[in-house]
Amino acid sequence: VSLFKLNEWIKAKEPLAFTRLSMICLPILSPLGLSLRNVQPDTKVPPDVFGEIKTKAEEVAGQPCPVQNN
């Protein structure tokens, strides 16, 4: 649920932010066989991966991301 919520958060930021994040996160998610474009509400990733993606999302958005990894 957390990664899905993070997706929703970044989609609400600047136009194309989600696309940018999707490309930026390719090397993080590709080894897991995942892409941000295909994330579903039940998609789970390890905590360290979520942390990496959240950091990248905050860089793209230029502000802290409130989504927590539950």
Q: Which residues bind another protein (CB under 8 A)?
A: 14-16, 19-20, 22-27, 30, 35, 37, 56
Cβ closer to another protein: 64 or 70? 64
Shortest Cβ 66–another protein spacing (Å)? 21
Lookup: tokens for 2: 């957390």
Cβ closer to another protein: 1 or 16? 16
Distance of alpha carbon 52 from alpha carbon 56, whole angstroms: 6
Shortest Cβ 70–another protein spacing (Å)? 26
Cβ closer to another protein: 62 or 70? 62
